Amino acid sequence: MKSKPALGAWGEAIAAEALKARGFTVVEQNYRSRYGEIDIIAENREYLVFAEVKLRKSTYFGAAREFVDARKQERLRATASMWLEEHETSLQPRFDVIEVYGEEGAAAPRIRQIENAFGG
């Protein structure tokens, strides 16, 4: 059984590959500030996406996105603000949640990207 950080890294790698397949370039992963961490920061020609990755085996206890509560959203907004202060961009910022369902090593984990999952 893998540790929680190892499983999280696996889920984030799957999510990063899904973003790349959709035409995004991953700018940074695991950006930390005093407010929290953003799993993936990616961009395309139009958007700068701050993505929170949620890994679950199934939806038995609810959809993965439901675990991004108001408190977590506020920490993500604050962390994104810090990143934006350090990096100039003309792209439209957006907060996405990327749900990854499956167990590590699964041949085809199910991935769902919820664009603009919460305002900011």
CB 73 within 8 A of CB 60: no
**pLDDT class of 116 with cuts at 50, 70, 90:** very high
In 33-103, the DSSP E strands lie at: 37-43, 47-56, 92-101
Q: What pTM, to 2 d.p., does this model score?
A: 0.88
Give me the sheet containing 47-56, strands edge to edge: 25-32, 37-43, 47-56, 92-101, 110-114
Residue 39: the pLDDT is 96
Q: In this predicted model, which residue has the larger pLDDT, 50 or 55?
A: 50
Q: In this predicted model, which residue has the larger pLDDT, 49 or 59?
A: 49
Question: Poorest-confidence range of 5-9, 58-62, 73-77?
Answer: 58-62
